[in-house]
Structures are given as C-alpha cells and as structure tokens.
A = this chain, B = another copy of it.
C-alpha cells in the first residue's frame, strides 16, 4: 500500500526485469527501455507544453474571433493558396489533419459561410475548398490578435538562439513523427 512505483521510476527504473527492444548498444544517444533523468525532465516539460499551448491558442481565438486554432489554420492555408482554393487532401496535409477531421471542420466552416466546396474539375473524385470573402475578412480580423498571443506566450519567452534551436528540434521531431514528409512545414 505504500509508495512502490512512480512515473519517474516507471520511466527510468533500473530494474529492467523485462529487457525489451533488444536495443542495439551502438546507436548515438544511449538507447534502452528507460529514460535518463535529464531526458525524463525534458519529456515531462514537453508534455506540459503540449498540454497547455492548444488551450491558450484556442481560448484567445475563440474569445476574440469565434474560431478554433485549427479553423484559423485552415482558413490561413486556403488564403495562401492560388485562387484561395485547395483540394481537401492537400489541405489535410498542410494542416496535419486526417481527412475525416478536415471534412467535418470544412463542413462547419461552410455552414458558417467562411468556405465553399465544389467538385474538382480535373478529378471527379476530388473536392475543392475555397475561402469566401467573408472567410477572408474573418481571417484578417483574427490575425493580429492571434499573432500577439503567439508572440507573448511563445516567441517572446525565448531568446533568438532558443528560437532557432527550437526550429531545428521541431524539424528533427517532424522527421520522426511524419516519416512520409507530407507536412506543410517543409523540413528542408
């Protein structure tokens, strides 16, 4: 009933009664089933950041513009495309979303008149999504507040060196998380 196993211990317990992974001992960083204390701290902090950032972004955008961050991002990607138009599949890739999720979101945006959908002339299977003028206005109105939030909560919290370190770190993570490299944010 007393304190036996904790998260930290689970993550770096030396009692590897289960030697899984049969890890090659030759890789660059130390590889094994458990995490080093420093790795564990980094991971826990990253988890906390990942848990908190969406809430901050969504709260501000919802309050000031009635948009989720994902909706904002969808509108923004469309506004960048020629003719304000993209195929659903392309839009899904640029927003790191499943086609299912995008389909639901675009339908809701269409209901609100911010986007229109129409069949793609070149491929009968495909659907195009286009930003409407209303959608563009909403986006332009939302942008300054959103950018301020990003600056205040993220960019301005870091030194310029940290910003470029973060950029490289995120690029490295994306290469693992999305091996197909289908992402909008080219990891050049």
Contact = CB atoms under 8 A, between A and B. Distances in A.
Given A3-B84, A33-B148, A79-B6, A42 B163 contact: yes
**In which size bucket is the chain A interface?**
35 or more
Which of A41, A53, A140, A169 neighbours the largest number of chain B CB atoms within 10 Å of its CB? Answer: A169
A184 B51 CA distance: 12
Contact of A20 (B5, B148, B155, B158): B148
Given A159-B29, A172-B157, A185-B45, A7 B83 contact: no
A interface SS class:
helix
- Count of chain copies: 2
A170 B6 contact: no
A147 interface: yes
Contacts of A82: 2-3
Interface in A146-172: 147-148, 150-160, 162-172
A56 B173 CA distance: 12
Contacts of A95: 51
